[in-house]
Each structure stands twice: as structure tokens, then as C-alpha cells.
């Protein structure tokens, strides 16, 4: 099946099974805003817990914070967001569609890379075992030609972005590369304009002279302006980190690909404060630690890759993305940045207050450097959904849709089903739910045939189901069914908790990091 179709199926699955709904749907929705349904909210909370515990429980030098969404507007001046948090946009006059100029060019660069990859794949097939990719890339005329075009475009694009960006040059690149609008197929482009991504609103009544405030576009600044509060009251010593999960808002120009790019989304960010000069060492360490966190979910190491940034933001001295293989290609899920002391120094300058750290060991005061790990909850949710969604043909010829979610992230851990709705079986099943519900999320299900009930649980990723039958009333045992293998075993009710709890708990995942 084409990857595009797989993605469409995942989107409709999310809606059909109560994971994600379009916001305000009965009013025809609101662009790039989504709501999480009864199963989605559980999965999302489990992802957040997995992240939070991996930061705050596993590191005794990392603590949490929950700062407000509204902050003093000068913070966004100091951070550079008022002046520089812009995307260059361009419109196609025929389709009236709006695009990010930088994305159009990046896609063109990717096209050259795809062409090279195709040539390599063709040759690999032709030459079989004897194929030497490195030599082929070095000597093949076509590959060299694409490589040269790609490099020249990349250089021109980087120069244009670093020069402000140079909006005329960005437009010229689009014209020279003959990039067409995917909808109209024409090159009838407008000028490129800058567009600030921050939402603003007014605080206080207008009569008092209302103040323009912004909805935060990242959670990080709440950590920076509180870092000394936390350091002093928590008696933290550098190196230490502050973790935060919270909403962020960006007025994205092109919001597509479902919950990949939203206007209201959630971030999990951790800022790690280190001694100047040690930041690149810590950057390396966090890069590795974060990849391990992703890989512990068990989707396969080939689903991840690093993308080191060549073009660094003005405040960074190293940056990488962790990319995940979505049905629409490798895409950024998390960013890891060495942000130097840019943010803290800026806040010092704009607030006029000293926020230096006093190091009791060296007896000196300094502004710490910062390593940031920043991951979108919603993008993480999407990557988990995409990796878990599977359609299987069973031995009896039937097919099933199963979400092979890591058990610790699954919304429901155990479904308890009476074989029939009589003879005391429902009561027994409810008794089991009542005794286990304090340990993990259980669901009682009595409607439809057992087969249908299994399918329903498979579709939401429930790792275990138990069936209560007539024998249960006399032997105290139930049939425990495994989602992935579909094997069934007879187990005592008294053993259920210990059998399941360990396998579905967040610590079971944390131990794999
Ligand atoms: P992109 O290049 O995709 O716009 P970014 O580099 O601007 O992302 P950061 O500012 O580094 O993203 O934000 C950190 C993380 O927050 C991203 O890795 C992503 O997971 C998430 N994120 C950023 N923007 C959005 C969005 N509009 N919708 C959902 N998640 C987002």
C-alpha cells in the first residue's frame, strides 16, 4: 500500500477510535487545531509520563517546573521572537495557496537527494553483492551532476537564509529552480514576505491601557526566567536541569500533515545548565541519552536518525534533530540545541537584573551555558501511532487492524470480558476490574461476540484481554490473551496483577533506556 494511503488510514483510525478529533468539528473545524479523545488523552498522558519520569525520576539533578503561558512581553523581545521568529511566506497567484519559501527550497534540495538515491538503488540492484556504493557515488556521472546541483542550491539557500534572510534572493531561487505550485502547476509567485508566528492578545481592559501579550511559542523562556528561583530554592548546583511540559502556540503558515504541524501544541522541554566550556561535551551526552529514550520504545533502530544542523540559529553553537521515519519520510520529532548563554544574557540585559550563578566550588560567578532538549508531544504521539498501526492477515484468512503500542503507553492495559451476559459472569468480570483498577487502566466490555471484542481492543492497542467463562466460577481462572501473539493461556485470577503490572508500567520502559 502506498505510504500516503497508510497515513490517511492512520488519520481516520485516530478519529474512529477516539484518539484525535478535529477541533470544533461541528463548526467544520479550525485549521491545525485538534482535540484528543478518550483513548488519545490516555496515550498522550502516558507519553508525557514516560518523558517526565525519564527526566525527573532518573536524574537527581533535574527538577520540574510549570510556568504560565502568559509572560511579560519584554521576554519575547529579549529572546528575539518579536523581531526574528518569522517564516518567509510566498503565495501562488493562480491557486491562491500559501507556502513557506524556505520549505519549497528545502523540498527541491530533497528532490536532488532522492534522484541520487534512486540512481544508487538502481545500480545496487544491477550489480548485487559486488556493488560499492561509496565508489559509485564518487564516479557516476549522473550522481555527480545531481550532487553538484544539490550542493550549489544548498549553498545559495544557506547564504540567502543567513543574510537576514534575503527575501528577494529566496524568490529568485524559487524562480531559477523552476519550482511550481503543486496545486496549480504554475510558477506565478508573489513576492516573499516575512510573517511572525506569535499569536498576540491583550491583557487588562482597554480603558486602563491594555498590554499586548503573546501566547508563548515555546515553553523554554519560562524556564530561563525562573532558573535562578529554582536554583536557589532547590539548592541546585551546576550542572542541573529544569524540565517542563506545556502548551505552545505558533501561527504556522502552512499547517498540514494532521498533528505534525499544529497551531496549538504541547512541548516537553528540558534546559540543562552547565559550566561554560563544557557545553559541547554535555550536548553530545544529551544527544545520546535522548536517542536511547526513543529507541527504548522498541520500534526498531532504523526508524531514527540524527540530522545535524549546518545552519545554526544565531544563539546556538551546536544543534541536531532526532528524526523519525513517518509515512511521509524522516521528519523532526525532537531538537537538541546547545544554546550558549544567549537567552540568560539577553534576560539579564533586558531586565537589568543580575541572574548569574555563583559557583561555590570555584568561587566565581558566571552565566551558565544551556543545552536544550525539546520535543513535541503531538509529534511524538503521531510517530508512536504511525509505528504501531498494522494491518494483519490472520491464519484463518481474516484480517485485523492492530495498534502494536508499547504496553506502557497503551491507553487501556487490560480488557475484562464475560463470555456471556448472564450466569454471574458479568459480576465476576466486574469484580476483577474492581480489584485491578488501582494498579492499571482496565476496561469492562460485554457487548458483541468475543471475536469482535478482541478486534475492538486490538484497534486501540490494549495489550491484554481476559475472558471470564463458566469454569472461572469454580476454578478461579480466566483466559489471558496476548494482543501481539494472540496466544491464550489459562491463569489464576490471583496471579493477574503480578503477571500484567510489571509489563505495562512506565518503569518497565524506563529500565530499557
Ligand atoms: P519545524 O522545523 O518542524 O517547524 P522547529 O525546528 O521550529 O520545527 P522547535 O522550535 O525546535 O521546532 O520545537 C521543538 C519541537 O516542538 C519540535 O521538534 C516539534 O516536535 C515540536 N513542534 C514545533 N512546532 C510544532 C508545531 N507547529 N506543531 C507540533 N509540534 C511542533
Domain ranges of the chain: 1-69+212-393, 86-196, 405-510
Residue (of 499, 428, 59) closest to 270 by Cα position = 59
250 lines ligand 1 (CB under 6 A): yes
Q: Whose CA is nearest to atom 30 of ligand 1?
A: 376
Please enumerate in sequence order all residues whose Cβ is within 8 A of that of 199, keeping only pairs 6 or more positions apart, or say none. 214, 215, 249, 250, 251, 263
Q: Is the CB of 323 under 6 A from ligand 1?
A: no
User: Stretch 172-189: mean pLDDT, rounded?
Assistant: 95
Q: What percent of the chain has pLDDT above 90? A: 88
pLDDT value of residue 369:
97
pLDDT score at 309: 86
Q: Residues 49-56: what's their mean pLDDT?
A: 98
pLDDT of the residue at 195: 92
Over residues 123-150, the pLDDT tens digits come to: 999 888 888 999 999 999 999 999 999 9
Tens of pLDDT along 58-96? 999 999 999 999 999 999 999 999 988 898 999 999 999
Q: How far apart are CA 62 and CA 55, in angstroms?
A: 6
Instruction: Taking the CA atoms of 13, 17, 20 and 22 in sequence, report the sign of the dihedral they define.
Output: positive
Rounded CA separation 170/200 (Å): 28
Q: Does the Cβ of 262 fall within 6 Å of ligand 1?
A: yes
| 376 Cα to the center of ligand 1, angstroms | 6
| Helix (H) or strand (E) segment spanning residue 425 | helix 425-436
* Residue 206 pLDDT > 70: no
Q: Is 372 in the pocket of ligand 1 (CB under 6 A)?
A: no
* Closest residue by CA, ligand 1 atom 10: 218
Protein fold of 405-510: Rossmann fold (3.40.50)
Does residue 218 or residue 502 have the better pLDDT?
218
pLDDT at 395 over 90: no
- Ligand 1 within 6 A of CB of 386: no
The finding on whether 106 has its CB within 6 A of some atom of ligand 1 is no
Residue identified by cell 502568559 is: 70
Residue 204 has pLDDT above 80, yes or no: yes
What's the chain's average pLDDT?
95
Reported as a single tens digit per residue, the pLDDT across 414-444 is: 999 999 999 999 999 999 999 999 999 999 9
Query: Would you identify the CATH topology of the domain 1-69+212-393?
Result: BirA Bifunctional Protein; domain 2 (3.30.930)
**What pLDDT was estimated at residue 476?**
97
Asked whether residue 492 carries a pLDDT value surpassing 70, the answer given is yes
How far is the centre of ligand 1, averaged over its atoms, from the C-alpha of 217 (Å)? 10
pLDDT at 207: 64
Measuring CA to CA, which residue among 32, 30, 49, 53 is closest to residue 377? Answer: 49
Rounded to an integer, the average pLDDT of 253-259 is 85
Return the CATH number of 86-196, one of 1.20.1250.20, 2.60.40.10, 3.30.40.230, 3.40.50.300: 3.30.40.230
Q: What is the model's pLDDT at position 129? A: 87
Ligand 1 atom closest to Cα of residue 376? 20
Given a cut of 90, whether residue 253 has pLDDT beyond it is no
Amino acid at each position: 500500500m502506498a505510504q500516503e494511503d497508510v497515513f490517511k488510514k492512520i488519520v481516520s483510525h485516530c478519529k474512529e477510535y477516539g484518539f484525535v478529533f478535529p477541533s470544533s468539528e461541528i463548526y467544520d473545524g479550525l485549521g491545525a487545531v485538534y482535540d484528543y479523545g478518550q483513548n488519545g488523552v490516555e496515550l498522550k498522558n502516558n507519553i508525557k509520563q514516560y518523558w517526565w519520569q525519564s527526566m525527573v525520576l532518573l536524574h537527581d539533578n533535574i527538577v520540574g517546573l510549570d510556568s504560565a503561558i502568559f509572560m511579560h512581553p519584554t521576554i519575547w523581545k529579549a529572546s528575539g521572537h518579536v523581531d526574528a521568529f518569522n517564516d518567509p511566506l510566498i503565495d501562488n497567484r493562480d491557486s491562491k495557496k500559501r507556502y513557506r519559501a524556505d520549505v519549497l527550497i528545502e523540498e527541491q534540495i530533497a528532490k536532488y537527494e532522492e534522484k541520487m538515491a534512486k540512481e544508487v538503488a538502481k545500480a545496487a540492484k544491477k550489480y548485487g553483492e559486488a556493488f560499492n556504493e561509496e565508489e559509485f557515488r564518487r564516479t557516476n556521472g549522473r550522481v555527480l551532476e545531481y550532487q553538484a546541483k544539490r550542493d550549489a542550491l544548498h549553498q545559495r539557500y544557506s547564504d540567502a537564509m543567513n543574510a537576514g534572510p534575503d527575501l528577494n534572493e529566496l524568490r529568485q531561487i524559487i524562480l531559477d529552480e523552476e519550482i511550481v505550485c503543486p496545486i496549480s502547476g504554475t510558477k506565478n509567485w508573489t513576492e516573499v514576505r516575512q510573517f511572525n508566528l506569535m499569536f498576540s492578545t491583550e491583557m487588562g481592559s482597554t480603558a486602563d491601557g491594555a498590554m499586548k501579550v503573546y501566547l508563548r511559542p515555546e515553553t523554554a523562556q519560562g524556564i530561563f526566567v525562573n532558573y535562578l528561583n529554582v536554583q536557589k530554592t532547590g539548592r541546585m548546583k551546576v550542572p542541573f536541569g529544569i524540565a517542563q511540559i506545556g502548551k505552545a502556540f505558533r501561527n504556522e503558515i502552512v499547517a498540514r500533515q494532521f498533528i505534525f504541524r499544529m497551531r496549538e501544541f504541547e512541548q516537553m522541554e528540558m534546559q540543562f545548565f552547565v559550566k561554560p566550556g563544557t557545553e559541547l561535551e554535555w550536548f553530545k551526552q544529551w544527544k545520546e541519552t535522548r536517542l536511547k529514550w526513543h529507541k527504548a520504545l522498541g520500534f526498531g533502530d532504523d526508524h531514527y536518525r540524527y540530522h545535524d544542523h549546518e545552519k545554526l540559529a544565531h544563539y546556538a553553537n551546536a544543534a541536531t534533530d532526532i528524526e523519525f521515519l513517518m509515512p511521509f519520510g524522516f521528519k523532526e520529532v525532537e531538537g537538541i540545541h546547545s544554546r550558549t548563554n544567549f537567552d540568560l544574557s539577553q534576560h539579564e540585559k533586558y531586565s537589568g537584573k543580575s541572574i548569574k550563578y555563583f559557583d561555590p566550588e570555584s568561587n566565581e560567578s558566571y552565566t551558565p551555558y544551556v543545552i536544550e532538549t525539546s520535543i513535541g508531544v503531538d509529534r511524538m504521539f503521531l510517530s508512536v501511532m504511525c509505528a504501531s498501526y498494522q494491518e494483519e492477515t490472520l491464519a484463518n484468512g481474516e484480517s485485523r487492524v492492530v495498534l502494536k503500542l508499547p504496553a506502557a503507553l497503551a491507553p487501556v492495559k487490560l480488557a475484562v470480558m464475560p463470555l456471556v451476559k448472564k450466569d454471574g459472569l458479568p459480576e465476576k468480570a466486574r469484580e476483577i476490574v474492581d480489584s485491578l483498577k488501582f494498579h492499571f487502566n482496565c476496561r469492562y466490555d460485554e457487548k458483541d461476540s468475543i471475536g469482535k471484542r478482541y478486534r475492538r481492543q486490538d484497534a486501540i492497542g490494549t495489550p491484554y484481554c481476559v475472558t471470564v467463562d463458566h469454569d472461572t466460577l469454580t476454578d478461579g481462572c480466566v483466559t489471558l490473551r496476548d494482543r501481539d501473539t494472540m496466544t491464550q493461556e489459562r491463569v489464576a485470577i490471583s496471579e493477574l496483577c503480578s503477571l500484567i503490572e510489571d509489563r505495562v508500567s512506565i518503569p518497565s520502559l524506563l529500565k530499557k533506556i
